[in-house]
Structure 1
C-alpha cells in the first residue's frame, strides 16, 4: 500500500478507514506520502484509525507538498493538541491552498489545539466546510480564537459543525461575537445528541443569555444602522433543543434571501421595519429637503417586502401591513416639515413660483403662435392690387 501511494502519479482520492495501523506502519505511510512527486491527490480520508499525535505530526509534515488537496478527513482518531499544532503549521505554510473540506470530528482537540489551528485556517481561503464535532474538551476559550478565522478578509466558510461540544452560554457568546462581520457562513450545527445521553443531560445548555447574543448577531436593534449591518447570511442552526422562536424568525428571513438569491439589503429592510416602528429623520435634516425624495423612495420599495407570497411577507403580516408602512411614510414627511417649517414653506413657495413661471412661459408661447397665425391669415385675406 505504501509503495502504491508513493509511486502512483494519478492517485486522486485515498480513503483508509478502520485500518488502525501500528506506529511504524503509519510513519512509513507518511514517508511515502511525503515523497510523492505528483500533486494529483485531492482527497485524503483517514477515518477511525486510532492515529495519535505522533502519527498525525508525521502525516501533517508529509502533506506540506500537497497544497492541491481539497478534502482532508481525519475524524474518529486519537490526536489532540500536538497533532493540531503540526496540522496548523502545514496549513499555514501552504501556498495557494485548495482545501475546501476539513473534518476533525471525534478526536481529543482542546482549546489550545484549536488555537493552534486558527492561523492555518485563515490561510485556507477556499475552505467551505469545517467539522469539529464531538471534541468535548473545546470550551468558550477555544471558540473565541475562531473569530480571527471567521472575520478574516477571505473567509468563505459556509458550513460549521460543532455537534456534541457543550459550551453553554459563554461559548454561544464567543461564537456570536466571532461571527460579527462574517458574510459567508450559512449553516451551523450545535448540541445535536441523544436526549438520553448522560453527557447531554449534564452538559451546560444555551439559555436566554446565550441566545440573546445570537439575536444581536442576526438583528442588532440598538440602531437602524446596526440592524442594517447585522448578519443576513446565517440561515440554519441545527440544534437540539431547537433555538427560540425569535431566533428562528431571523434565520427564516436569511434563508429566504439565499433561496431567492435576492440582495441582502432587502432582508435588512425587513428587519428594520420589524424592529424600528419610529424612524428618526433628524439625522437627514442637515441636507434639508434634498434627502426627502430618497426617504420616500425607500418607503415605496419597502411595500414590496409585504408580499404574502413570500416567507418574508408571512413574517411581516403578523405585525405590519401595507397601511402601516404608508403611515410611516407620511410620518416621515411630517417630521421633515415639522423639523424645518421655514425650509418647507420656502420650498413650497419656490415650487409655486416655478410652476407659475412655467405656465406663464407656456402662455407666452401660445400667444406668440396665435399672433403669427393671425398675421399669416391677414396676409392671405388682403386683396391684391389692380393694375390698369
Structure 2
C-alpha cells in the first residue's frame, strides 16, 4: 500500500503532518465526515497524486479555532494533481492527466450544477448545499494537503490541462485556478468591474490580490487595495495598484486623494468575518461588519459589492453572541438607499477556470508573481501556516511529491 501523509488541524493554532490512509473509491468515516456520506461509493472518481496544494486564508480561519472544525480534520481544498487511478465509471479523464481541481465539489447532475451554480451543488453535502475538500461542515470529503487525494465526479469536476509539459512550465500560476484566482475574479465580476471602472478591494491577502489582478484583466481604470499590512500593500503596488493604508485612517479620504472623489464604482470584500476596525494597526479590534459597512459607504449609488470573503454560521471566537452565529450589524439601510447589489457565497469555480487557464497559458496574466507564490514541502506546512497567520505577504504552495522546482 502506498503511504499517504497529510496536514491535519489538531486544535486552535496547531497543525501537524500525520499519516492517513491511501484513498479508495469509497468515502470512509473520519473527522468531519457527515454520517450520511459514510460508505458512499465513488466509482465516478479518480485518485490524484498531488502536484500542488495551497494554504488558503479559509484554512487559516479553521486553524485559528474560529470554526467548529474537529481535531484531525485533513486540510486543503486548493488542489492540482496528476491522475494515478480512475474509477470504474470515469470515461474521459485518463491516468497521467494533470488537472486543476475546483475547490467546490459538485455532482454535475443536480439543478444547481446544470445552472452553473457549482458552489451550491445539492447532492454532495447532506447538511446543506455546497461542499469542499477538507473543510468544516462541507460533507467530510478528505482534504488535499496530502500526497494523494480522492476527487469525486471526476469527468465533471476536473479541468485537464491541454499539454502536460507546457502546464508544468507555468504550474505555480495554474495552481491558483483551484480557488483564489477564480474567487478573486468572481469578486470582481460580481462587483461589476469592467473597462474604465474604479475599484476598491478590501484586503491585500491572496484573494484580494487575485481580485486586483482580475480587475486589471477586466479593464479597470484604477484598482485600489486597502489593508493594515504594509508588506501586503507593497505586493499590490508591485503590479500597478493604488493602495490605502488603513492604519492611517478610513478608506474614503484616501480614495478621494487618489480619485478626487471619495467613492468608487465597484467594491470587493476579500476579508470576511475576521475583519478589523480601521486606524489601530495590527492591534485593531475585531469588528466583523466593518468591511461590509465601509464598502457600502464608499461604493457609488447603483454600484455593486462582490463578497468572496468568507462568512460563517458558527464562529466560537465571535466578538459577541450574534457574531458567533454569523449575525452581523449591517447598515442595510445604506445599501438599500443607494440601490447597491450584493453577491455572496462560494465562487462557482467552473464558471471561470477554463478562461483563466487560457489567460495564464498565453501569458495574459501572471497570478503567481502577483500573489508571491512560494513552494514549500509538506513538512514545512506548520511553519507556512504560522508565517501566513503572522501576515506574510506570501501564498504558500505545498509540494508533497516533488513536482515543483
In the superposition, the TM-score normalised over structure 2's length comes to 0.25
Which protein has the bigger strand share? 2
For CA contacts below 8 A with separation 6 or more, give which structure has more relative contact order.
2
Which protein shows a greater Rg?
Answer: 1
In the superposition, the TM-score normalised over structure 1's length comes to 0.26
Which protein has the bigger helix share? 1
